Structure 1
Amino acid sequence: MTRPDTAPVRQGEELPLDALRGAMRGRVAGDVDALTVEQFPGGFSNLTYLVRAGDQEYVLRRAPLGPVAKGAHDMAREFRLLEKVSPALPAAPRVVLLVEDAGVLGSPFYLMERRRGTIVRTSLPAEYAALPDAPRRMSEALADTLADLHAVDIDAAGLRDLGKPEGFNRRQVEGWAGRWRRARELLQGSGDLPPPAELRDDLVIAWLEANVPAESAHTLVHNDFKLDNLMLDPHDPSKVRALLDWEMTTVGDPLVDLGLTLTYWTIPQQPGGVPNRIGAPAAGQGFLTREAFLSRYAQRSGRDVSNITWYEVLGHFKLAVIVLQIFARYRLGQTQDARFAPLGEQAVWLVQEAWRRISRETQAGAPFEATE
């Protein structure tokens, strides 16, 4: 979705402008004959472009190049989700046009409004340098927006059928375990992954399966909620202009979102190997600690977060799966994006960190037995 900084379109990811003009003509405002396209450089999944039609600006999203998993990168689903969410949650952008004909651009795509603001990725941007409490304010905005997302009435918004909330947590483990094993098989013999006894991936899966909690509630689950998916007011980091990247949103246990958010908040490197100076142990002064973030969310949402370790372990494992899938596509030559080269090592670190958290939990008195 929208990013504050655009760049020329990456080689191999260009859009056929004549076909795009034809799909837009008469269906959106603006001069499509004066169409220009740039690309938003962030993100590792769907491709996102800034499309200008004269004085009108839109954001275009489409699936990544190469083979994609069945059911993934469903642009029609994402479009229809935002149609229902945006009236109930101001942070959700308004969608404009859906084109399901894959013959136009090579895959279905949609256009949405462009919103402007600041996105904070791995360090404090210049516009916040003069605001001494900016780290605290954006931290609180992140926690509050997550709680507000989970407060959306899924029945009133017509969103309950978006997923199958009953048994959500167990299906999460089963689904992500299957994706991990398939990606691991693609890399078999490559030397990119350590042996199972060192990696501990099967032990992580076994622990998650053995300790699945009942769903704490049934709400919207964004499934990729993190600071750089928020667009903030450049002058006031406590104000959220937009919540971005809705492709994996479903209905399920809200603490699954919280666990993944804490994973992003505390890892020393973001996907791609970029140092994480926000939220991680070595973060700059003023950001909420993990514990303060948990407390803020609990206070805003009224939810019990005492069983958060299981959700954090799942968060680490899910992120490991996502980055390993992308890395496998890179190693198999399905994409040439050099940003993907470090993702194999990062997937390994995430799985091993999940095991370290399990080890601390079991040492604290929660018994767990599994064979290597």
Structure 2
Amino acid sequence: MSTPTNKMDQARAVRQGESLDVDAVATYLKATLKELDGPVSIRQFHSGYSNLTYLISVGARELVLRRPPFGKKARSAHDMNREYCILSALAPVFPYVPSPLAYCDEPAVMDVPFYVMERLSGVILRKTLPEGPQFDAVWADRLCRRWVDVLAELHRLDYQKCGLAELGNPEGYVNRQVQGWSARYRDARTDDVPDFEAVMAWLAANMPSDHPKPALIHNDYKFDNVILDPIEPDRIIGVLDWEMATVGDPLMDLGASLAYWIESGDSEEFKLVATMPTDAPGMMTRRQIVAYYEEKTGTTVKNFSWYYCFGLFRLAVIAQQIYYRFYHGQTTDPRFEMLGLGVGVLEKAASRVMGSSEY
């Protein structure tokens, strides 16, 4: 197979207002990672919506730096030390995480904590498929299955043996998520988006019990957070963005993932919020994904419409928190301007799922 270079994740010039102090970063990295040598340059990956991600080139070596966004931040989000510790614990047992290299919270280097990890180079799927005959329906089906395989592998990990038992409290997890995300939405709401009150009330009134087998969950597992092998692009070689990982209900993890999953039979309005090519020929439907997850984990999934509805609501909260920063002039990233409309689309989708078996 030829390498789809048009879909290799490329760094570009740093956005206005999001620059780093190159000299301070270079001095810190060369003092901390003794093997580094050569001139330092910084470019930025523009695709993320939350934490900011930069490509640090030191001579021929490439590293990735992660830091919180500028502007208003959710109280519990963007904890760089937490994310760094998760990567450090998972690196020996889960072969899909990039190796963490350094964590820094020194104000002299940067105004916020940040961490540095190895760069994994590969293909990341965005809104459209890469060009090439290999990206056909057979490839799409195989990729979907491997995508579920990796999620199931994560959920089977013994998080206690990994040293991550203190990462979250599975008891009362579902209730905390419903209450917590509802509070976040109300805190971040702007005047031009729906109030979501009916959805929040339905989620609270119909909460399932805590899962009998809590697991380590990623909480943002989707195609554009996985890296595909550039030579065998149906093989996953990396999983990124662990900032929301915790110990909790694996079905809520699956629901959060499928909130992003647009399929060919969805409404045209819902397809407008698509960010990944999950409706391409050969891609599995949401129901097929759930059925294959059941097969891989031996879990019987009941009332998945609740988990899917919660996933849609949670995605709307994430979008609204980002849109809040744009609405109040705390970021100039033009991608954020349309997120308010996306929140409205997600409210309609969540409302359709309430009280039905739809997902």
- Same fold by TM (over 0.5)? yes
1:164 correspondence with 2:173: no
Q: CA deviation at 1:176?
A: 0.3
Q: 1:215 aligns with which of 193, 210, 225?
A: 210
Query: Unmatched 5+ residue regions in structure 1?
Result: 363-372
Percent of pairs with identical residues: 40
Name structure 2 gaps, 5 residues minimum. 1-7
Call closer, same or farther: CA 1:96–1:270 in 2, change over 3 Å: farther
The aligned runs of 1:181-196 (5 Å cut-off) are: 181-184=186-189, 187-188=190-191, 192-194=192-194
Distance in 1 of aligned mates of 2:352 and 2:139: 32
The secondary structure found in structure 1 opposite 2:320 is: helix
Paired amino acid for 2:302: S
Query: Could you say which residue in structure 2 is the equivalent of 1:331?
Result: 327
- Name the residue aligned to 1:368: none
Alignment of 1:61-72 (within 5 A): 61-72=66-77
SS where residue 241 of structure 1 aligns?
strand
Q: Deviations over 1:202-232 (max 9, x none)?
A: 1111111111111222111111011111101
Aligned to 1:205: 200
- Taking the TM superposition and a 5 Å limit, the aligned residue runs for 1:29-40 are 29-40=34-45
Secondary structure of 1:104's partner? Answer: coil
Note the C-alpha offset of 1:346: 0.6
Q: What is the root-mean-square deviation in Å for CA atoms of aligned residues?
A: 2.2
Q: CA offset at residue 129 of structure 1?
A: 3.8
Aligned to 2:277: 278
Matched, 1:99 2:104: yes
Partner of 2:142: 137
Instruction: Measure, in 2, the Cα distance between the counterparts of 1:298 and 1:317.
Output: 23
Q: Supply the distance in 2 between the matched residues of 1:172 and 1:295 (Cα, whole angstroms).
A: 25
1:209 counterpart letter in structure 2 = A
* Separation in structure 2 between the aligned mates of residue 37 and residue 76 of structure 1, nearest angstrom: 22
Equivalent residue of 2:259, what SS? helix
Aligned to 1:177: 182
Q: By how many angstroms is 1:361 displaced?
A: 4.2
**Match for residue 257 of structure 1 among 253, 256, 273:** 253
Partner of 1:369: none
Structure 1 residue 158 displacement after superposition: 0.9
Within the candidate set 288, 293, 300, 1:292 is matched to 288
Q: Is the 8 A contact 2:52 2:67 kept in 1?
A: yes
1:24 partnered with 2:20: no
Distance 2:121 2:107 in 1: 29
Separation (CA, whole Å) in 2 of partners of 1:128 and 1:101: 49
Aligned equivalent of 2:302? 306
Deviates further, 247-256 or 297-306? 297-306
Q: 1:7 aligns with which of 9, 12, 26?
A: 12
Rounded to whole Å, the distance in 2 between the matches of 1:104 and 1:339 is 29
**Amino acid of the structure 2 residue aligned with 1:45:** S
Contact 1:7 1:41 in 2 (8 A): yes
User: Displacement of 1:275 after TM fit?
Assistant: 4.3
Q: Which amino acid aligns with 1:278?
A: P
- Aligned residue pairs total 347
Over 3 Å counting, the alpha-carbon distance change for 1:272 and 1:72 in structure 2 is farther
Shift of 1:85: 1.0
Deviates more, 1:316-325 or 1:66-75: 66-75
